[in-house]
Amino acid sequence: MNHFEDRPGPTGALELWCEGVRLADIADAVGTPVYVYSTATLERHFTVFRDALQSAMPGRDLLIAFAVKANPNLAVIRTLSDLGAGADTVSEGEIRRALAAGVPPQRIVFSGVGKTDAELAYAMDIGVAEINVEAEAELDRLAKIAAAKGVRPAIAFRVNPDVGAGGHAKISTGKAESKFGVSFSEARRLYAKASAHPALRPIGVACHIGSQISDLAPMEAAFIKMRALVEQLRADGLSVERLDLGGGLGVPYHDTPAPPTPAQYAAMVARVVDGLDIALAFEPGRVIVANAGVLIARTVHVHHRAEGRRFLVVDAAMNDLLRPTLYEAYHAIRPVRVGNGAPEEAYDVVGPICETGDTFARDRMMPPVGEGELVAFLSAGAYGASMGSEYNARPLAPEVLVRGDRYAVVRRRPTYEEMLSREQAPDWS
């Protein structure tokens, strides 16, 4: 459930609102394209996820670390942090964002395939909850840095359980051939090696097998393997305090059957860890933010091709919302104003960028949309603004957070002067 709903506008006609604010008012005041997020939806999604886990496993120590990469806006992280969320981060920049948004270091998880020495040193200085080590080479670098600093960071091993899942090959991460994590067969040796090192404090194991997962079976298979690993490590006499089960739960994008609910996911986790005394961590991203955000664009014009194709050219482009181009991802697209009952028409919804890939949808049925009208791309709160770029020298779309009947610009659109001021042509003379 989210808080984007059709309600009557000033003329009485139905149109899309976010909580108590007309999206059309935001578009008029802030300009388009613009991302709009709903505080009530963010809070609801986090609360539903947390409550599902808590009620399936009462009394268990749970860290729910929001995957910052899904939506790194400070206001979004702050909203979740105020509810007790931690942060799953993959770069120094994301750690800095989490801290700036008020997430305490004890709730920050630092993951990533290629953390640099500088990033590892920074994470140790901050004292993050857990550095997820993904390779033996990384373990060795980490040990050296920690020893030189005289600190003993808490680490977990991200283990590749050789179970793949996810909505697209580009976001499946759990198979043995993917670049993520240490292999299952070497986890014991590496955990023992780390435990013997005076500058390291191994506290757990972690896995994350993919994103936009719509079937609990592969997750369950991976989690069962992880439980077995915890038991094996403990039988080896090693201390394992926390099991980090990653993120990955899918969301409804309106084109596929609904994915499992947080309650079904929590019940599955509870089943897998039943009787195992261990703290759990989770790294949800999409399930918290995807349906808490929309991208609003304005139609530049409708281009009717002689042979019959109808292109809806909008002022948002692949640089604003890359998912359709990169993953053939489906986003529901609709006029902000509700149709007056006129029959739907097929549109190719495209942006202005000079590539065919800058196409959001082909033959999408929609109520008739005219020049200058607003359209909304739904479920755009996750991996939307966060994957934006300035391709074609287009300014990054601003972001707006709604709360009740108020809204705030939480990232403003840069001016062209600001964009140009970061660069200079060298004076070679």
Footprint of ligand LLP on this chain (CB under 6 A)? 67, 70, 88, 111, 171, 208, 211-212, 246-249, 283-287, 323, 327, 383
- Give CA–CA dist 249/290, Å, rounded: 11
Count the alpha carbons within 13 Å of 382 in the hemisphere toward its beta carbon: 28
Catalytic residue (choose from 354, 417, 425, 428):
354
In whole angstroms, the minimum distance from the beta carbon of 286 to ligand LLP comes to: 4
Report the nearest approach of ligand LLP to the CB of residue 110 (Å).
10
CB-CB contact of 89 with 120 (8 Å): no
Q: State the Cα–Cα distance between residues 114 and 128, nearest whole angstrom.
A: 17
> 350 phi and psi, to 5 degrees?
-130, 155
**Closer residue to ligand LLP, CB minimum distance, 32 or 132:** 132
Instruction: For residue 379, report the phi and psi dihedrals to the nearest 5 degrees.
Output: 55, 40
Burial (Cβ within 10 Å: 0-12, 13-18, ≥19) of residue 393: exposed
The nearest distance, CB 412 to ligand LLP, in angstroms, is 24
Nearer to ligand LLP, 122 or 327 (CB): 327
Judged by beta carbon, residue 194 or residue 251, the one nearer ligand LLP is: 251
What is the closest distance, in whole angstroms, from the C-beta atom of residue 200 to ligand LLP in the complex? 20
**238 backbone φψ class: left, alpha, beta (φ>0; ψ -120 to 50):** beta
174/335 with CB nearer ligand LLP: 174
Of 39 and 111, nearer to ligand LLP (C-beta) is 111
CB of 342 to ligand LLP, least distance (A): 33
Contact 85, 107 (CB under 8 A): yes
| 295 in Cβ contact with 323 (< 8 Å) | no
Minimum CB distance to ligand LLP, residue 339 (Å): 29
Q: Output 45 or 323, the one with its CB closest to ligand LLP.
A: 323
Q: What tokens appear for 386 in the block?
A: 């966060």
Residue 342, Cα to own-chain centre: how many angstroms?
A: 37
To ligand LLP, the closest distance from the beta carbon of 91 in angstroms equals 12
To 5 degrees, how large is the angle CA 273–CA 279–CA 284? 85
Q: Give the CA distances from residue 231 to residues 235, 239, 271, 275, 278, in Å, rounded to whole numbers and listed in that order.
A: 6, 10, 16, 11, 11
Sequence-distant (≥ 6) Cβ neighbours of residue 194 within 8 angstroms: 133, 139, 143, 155, 157, 200, 202
18 flagged as catalytic: no
- Least separation, in Å, of the C-beta of 14 and ligand LLP? 30
Non-local CB neighbours of 27 within 8 Å, separated by 6+ positions = 34, 296, 298, 336, 374
Nearer to ligand LLP among residue 27 and residue 249 (C-beta): 249
CA-angle at 118, arms to 419 and 70, nearest 5°: 55
Rounding to the nearest 10 degrees, give the CA dihedral for residues 300, 303, 309, 312: 10
- Return the number of the residue (97 or 298) whose C-beta is nearest ligand LLP: 97
Which residues are known catalytic residues? 354
